[in-house]
Chain A
């Protein structure tokens, strides 16, 4: 109670009680202390000489990457095409898997809240927790380097993403519309198709396009671990310290990402 009445009868208002104030300050103190402690840990593992040298390094890097090697571009088109395919096919694969998983995970559509739902939720969580680059790392070990590992890595990571957002959308639908369809005597599948699917369709399309956009970005780095795409060229160029090639690749990635973002924004706009 922040209103305190003194003995003289004057009332004083404060934002928090004394105890509340104390807790707030203590919270801030702990937060700052933790940050300092963490930074200390990082600092111990840092060679500060290199860090002070960073501006010079950056200038040097910039100088060596300018101008980009424009002629290198024609060797990159194929890699860029592969990158787009990894992202797109991975997304398609993920959508095909995530849709049933989402319907199994949503409490209002799952066939069994006790048995099936936890399994579906586990699939979603496991897929989401692991970064696509780590998935790629594992898949390259298993299936060997190449686009297959890349596509599967993108798909495995995206199942969780699409599945989570989609099942949340399914759980948020308006139940009266479902009721109305059920009241017409529709069967289970009909209720799904007429009462639920139309309601989640915009969300579903939006989520898919959004994830595709993210996947383009992710696909540009999968090559660093050998899972195909333009990241392979990036890795090779960095290893040989061919900085003009690196800057050329970065420019190409920049262009692609900008275009894909524009495209996905347009599509999402059209849907909503």
Chain B
């Protein structure tokens, strides 16, 4: 379970990116984080694994208070949080396998990783996961030779290689076409369910968020302005998050279901562990 309390981030430039955000994400819950550009979505998930150092507030993963950890302990804690990036962020000149194995860097020593002598179990797991996402035939391709959807699948596998408890997903579909976007989102959700992972997904596409996430949190100017099940997302809510606009088309798309056979994940119990 991830608990965020009063998280605040002020950049050296003076911009207040996060303003006292509190959230709880229980195990196994997939949460979508929506909001306009600059609302602090990226900063929020980067504060969780401290790629960005928060100014104030606390982040707890299970019993570990991440915001208090020293360097070494922080690296150990990062292993428990897999991160999936916008534009994939693969190391482009390394092969698919090397990129996947880089998910194990927190577990192996420097020289072992330098000579690429990873434990056999890691390599087996890598093969298994690559097969799971349908990329086992591309093991030795260089990452920059892959298509967008393939790259993002490698990114997903890299995150899962860490054997995480939590997935931090930053705009996973930002540069993908609509069909691939759905496939990638479905893959992330399925894998999170399989392993009972909590996930925070930053996403621009409101319709996709409604389609795949059970819980939606809306961020505006660094504050949470909405927290509820996907079904509760109304035009009024979207207006408080994004500002005035005609939202009917955006929402209807979901209410109509979807033409191309995507089944919305069961909105069974949208467990809302309300933070406030």
Contact = CB atoms under 8 A, between A and B. Distances in A.
Interface of A: 1-3, 10-15
A2 B140 contact: yes
Interface stretch (B2-10, B45-53, B121-129, B223-231): B121-129
A129 to B, nearest CB: 33
Contacts of A12: 120, 123
Interface of B: 97-98, 115-116, 120, 123-124, 126-127, 139-140
A11 B120 CA distance: 9
Nearest to A16: B116
Nearest to B124: A10
Contacts of B139: 3, 13
Contacts of B127: 11, 13
Nearest to A15: B116
Contacts of B140: 1-3
A14 B139 CA distance: 11
A12 B98 CA distance: 13
Contacts of A11: 123-124, 127
Contacts of A2: 97, 140
A2 to B, nearest CB: 6
A10 B128 CA distance: 11
A3 B138 CA distance: 11
Nearest to A2: B140
Contacts of B126: 13
A14 to B, nearest CB: 7
B87 to A, nearest CB: 26
A15 B98 contact: yes
From B98, B115, B127, residue with most partner A Cβ within 10 Å: B127
Contacts of A13: 97, 123, 126-127, 139
A12 B140 CA distance: 13
A13 B121 CA distance: 11
Nearest to B139: A3
5 contacts: A2-B97, A3-B139, A11-B124, A11-B127, A13-B139
Contacts of B97: 2, 13
Contacts of A10: 120, 124
A2 B127 CA distance: 13
A13 B125 CA distance: 11
Nearest to A12: B123
Contacts of B120: 10, 12
A217 to B, nearest CB: 35
Nearest to B120: A12
